[in-house]
Amino acid sequence: MFSLDQHLGHFIAGRLIASGSPVQVQRDPEVIEAYLGGEIDESPTAAEAARVVKPGGSILMFDKFLRRGQLAPLRRAMSPLSSRLATRLDVVFEDVLENVPQLSLLADEPALARGWFRLIELGKESGSAL
């Protein structure tokens, strides 16, 4: 978000989705959907992260990604409701990473809540341009 004398802009995945007064931005349908639910594709966010990190640089992520093949029935069952209230619980990180070939996995450790959250380090190769 940015603010210029009560003019706000709200960005998702590097894309401006709303601008105007605080009240206009708060009532914007795209902003409401981004916060309260809807299908959000994580791949553009990962692609934007890959675009802005320098070649040879790294990205640290801390989030509640599932591992590929992880059953997690409770998380998968809760995801439709949680995505309407706050966030999805059923995102498989490896599926997101497949869509961003310029990034590679450097480290992946369980970090919180017995592995519900993962601390992930991604790297961008030195010769990688956008």
- Tell me what pLDDT residue 66 has: 92
Write the pLDDT tens digit of every residue in 40-94: 566 777 888 888 889 999 998 888 899 999 999 999 999 888 877 777 889 899 9
Alpha helices (H) in the chain, listed in sequence order:
22-27, 29-36, 43-52, 73-85, 93-98
- Tell me what pLDDT residue 83 has: 76
For residue 124, give the 3-state DSSP assignment: strand
Q: With cut-offs at 50, 70 and 90, classify the pLDDT of residue 19.
A: confident
Looking at domain 41-130, which CATH architecture does it have?
3-Layer(aba) Sandwich (3.40)
Write the pLDDT tens digit of every residue in 23-36: 777 777 777 666 65
Name residue, tokens 């992946």.
108
Domain ranges of the chain: 1-36, 41-130
